[in-house]
Chains A and B, each alone.
Chain A
């Protein structure tokens, strides 16, 4: 599709808006409609559109697989880590009061925001991974074993 001028320009021009809107959704997650999941999907959508127009290999050059693998795990770790931090402070798992013990009401948004950033990172990376899996076709080591089957 990268020979098509319209597609190329549209994809290029849409990308910053998608990313900015994703960040807006992410940062307003605790106040209005939105949150990590939606933001993550939008970030992934930006990259997937890029991949669809310029080719999946080109996208993997921009976002290598190891980055999505690591970040996907890191996002959940941020979520769980927030909970563990609360535990270490002597509160129960995910009791956000631990973040600002003097002001529990103020700590809630902090906790939620942190957790939502984790969600956003993981969702976007998992979406990109799904796209990668679909476009890549075979897994490493697949070609070698097709002949030695049927045992």
Chain B
């Protein structure tokens, strides 16, 4: 146990990697699921322990050096309140979705290749957890590629249900690679300036040696840093599907297998948003990004457009899975708006919305996966009258929908409360208005679906269907229940989110 405690930050990445490899070798005949389930549960336990360690430690950070090379030279894994929270989100969602995936995925892909699915599943986790925990900008790129490559494949596995999964995956692959390469190029520019790849070290060199020269006659590397930061920002915006760069997302989410959609929607873009926050606040710093470059204005325009356009396009969809995908784009807008505001409440809103939206959207995608499992489709007309046939599943879906609107007593309300108060604090009344209009459109599209579910009539000739199998229903209800619970009692989630926000802005615990 002592060994495990000492090596927690490394194990949280190494364990899924090793287990993924082992799964690809011996994971046949259902063993793959057991291995994946065991691994995700172990990772969940480790991330809880890490969060506790971080919140209890005086400095609020836990550092781990790979291969005992000291930090600016070797790769260091740094855990602080922000990424401890994101680690918890990723591992928690992964555990619940893995529980759900067993039945769901068995009906969607060739059983002879199931062990490869679970191997990719664990690699995807490796990447996502690694991006979150690493303190090294280049290592972040490597892990970004690990998670992205496995994600492309996971999306393409939806081809047995619909061939368009393949084009969606290729589209995602091309855009995702461009995003990752932009990020890499940005790192290269900053490396040229600072000669370091460690995030904290780059920040230190930039703020103590590079920025101070900019007010003088001979500014050092001014353009290089601008270009480097711009490349990184655009690359990461592509990864997190910020509004004008969201093109890959709707089809990828729509045609991926149900459990993959649930996992991606609630973790992949969240980790992208986390990486963006990391670059903004701990790599280049707020003074550079917001005061000098006015990135906040650009981000707010993007976020506002994402909220309005994402929600509106969601309203126009008739395939409900695509509706949820577009709604995710809108929700990413809320997250981006939060950190673009750059104050404690805004960042708290961002972090807490990462968590709340993961619960809400994960639950909704899982409920929709049950519909696909039972009826084979996710079109609006297939949901007609399902409120009677699948009462629990549809209750979970409706709870999620209420969360998207931000009805009081749901998790979505808590995030929007923080977000709107942050807007008022900064005097951004127009952004507060956009948030409210976005919620209004969310009401429209949620109502469209809920009306079909509860007031629509299922066609007489439709085949009889039963409620979902218990192993799919329990995880769905778990997430939906959690999204309600964290709306009623938000003290834990907001405490962690506030700690993360205050840490980022350096205003003490």
Give the B-binding residues of A (Cβ under 8 A).
Answer: 69-70, 73-74, 76-77, 80-81, 83-84, 86-88, 90-97, 139-141, 145, 149, 151
Contacts and interface: CB of A to CB of B under 8 A. Distances in A.
> Chain B interface mostly helix, strand, loop or mixed?
helix
Contacts of A69: 24-25
A93 B377 contact: no
Nearest to A93: B10
Contacts of A94: 66-67
A77 B67 contact: no
Given A87-B7, A151-B376, 20 more contacts: A73-B22, A73-B24, A76-B21, A77-B18, A80-B14, A83-B10, A84-B14, A84-B18, A87-B3, A87-B10, A87-B11, A92-B10, A92-B66, A92-B68, A93-B66, A93-B67, A94-B67, A96-B67, A140-B113, A141-B112
B276 interface: no
Contacts of B68: 91-92, 95, 97
Nearest to A148: B160
Interface string B56-85: 000000001111100000000000000000
Given A94-B67, A97-B68, A81 B18 contact: yes
Contacts of A84: 14, 18
A45 B25 CA distance: 24
Contacts of B377: 151
Contact of B3 (A80, A90, A139, A151): A90
Nearest to A75: B21
A141 B110 CA distance: 7
B17 interface: yes
Contacts of A88: 3
Contacts, number: 64
Interface of B: 3, 7, 10-11, 14, 17-18, 21-22, 24-25, 64-68, 110, 112-113, 119, 160, 162-163, 376-377
A96 B22 CA distance: 23
B21 A93 contact: no
A95 B65 CA distance: 9
Given A95-B67, A141-B112, A151-B377, A74 B25 contact: yes
A54 to B, nearest CB: 28
A74 B112 CA distance: 20
Contact of B160 (A91, A96, A145): A145
B163 A80 contact: no
A77 B17 CA distance: 9
> Chain A interface mostly helix, strand, loop or mixed?
helix
A77 B26 CA distance: 13
Nearest to A122: B21
A87 to B, nearest CB: 5
A80 B67 contact: no
A140 B66 contact: no
Contacts of A149: 162-163
Nearest to B18: A80
A60 B458 CA distance: 52
Contacts of A73: 21-22, 24-25, 119
A148 B66 CA distance: 51
A74 B14 CA distance: 15
A70 B25 contact: yes
A139 B66 CA distance: 39
A81 B503 CA distance: 35
A93 B75 CA distance: 11
A97 B21 CA distance: 25
16 contacts: A73-B24, A74-B21, A74-B25, A77-B21, A77-B22, A84-B14, A87-B7, A87-B14, A92-B64, A92-B65, A92-B68, A94-B66, A94-B67, A96-B67, A141-B110, A151-B376
A11 B21 CA distance: 34
Contact of B67 (A92, A139, A145): A92
Which of B11, B18, B21 has the largest count of A CB atoms less than 10 A from its CB? B21
Contacts of A86: 67
B16 to A, nearest CB: 11
Contacts of A70: 25
B42 to A, nearest CB: 14
Contacts of B24: 69, 73
Nearest to B163: A149
B376 A93 contact: no
Which of B17, B25, B66, B162 has the largest count of A CB atoms less than 10 A from its CB? B25
A63 B67 CA distance: 35
